[in-house]
Amino acid sequence: MSNRIKVFRAEHNMTQEDLANKCEVTRQTIIAVEKNKYIPSLELAFKIALVFKQPIEKIFNYQS
C-alpha cells in the first residue's frame, strides 16, 4: 500500500497538522500514514480523499 498524501498536501499548501485537524485524527496518525507505517481505515481514507477532493484511488495505491 502506498499513498500520495505528501504530494497532495504540498499541492494544497497544507501542513500535517492541518490535514490531521480536518480529518479529526492526531498528527502522528497522518505522519504514520504518510510513511506507510500505518494503513488507515476505509473511513479515514475517504476523509483524506474528501479533504483533497480527489477519488480515493488517486491518493492510495494498493499493490498485492
Partner 1 sequence: MNYKNYQIIRTLIGLLIATIVVTATIINNFYLVISGVLIGMLFLFLAKSKFKKIIVDERVVSISGKASRAAYLTVTMFLAFFGLFSILTPRGHEDLYFESLGVVLCYISLLLITIYSISYYYFNKKYGADEQ
Nearest to residue 24, comparing CAs of 40, 1, 38? 40
Task: Choose which of 3, 9, 19, 40 interacts with partner 1 (CB under 8 A).
Answer: 40
Check binding of 46 to partner 1 (CB under 8 A): no
Task: Choose which of 2, 6, 11, 26 interacts with partner 1 (CB under 8 A).
Answer: 26
Residues at the interface with partner 1 (CB under 8 A): 24-26, 28-29, 32, 38, 40-41, 43-44
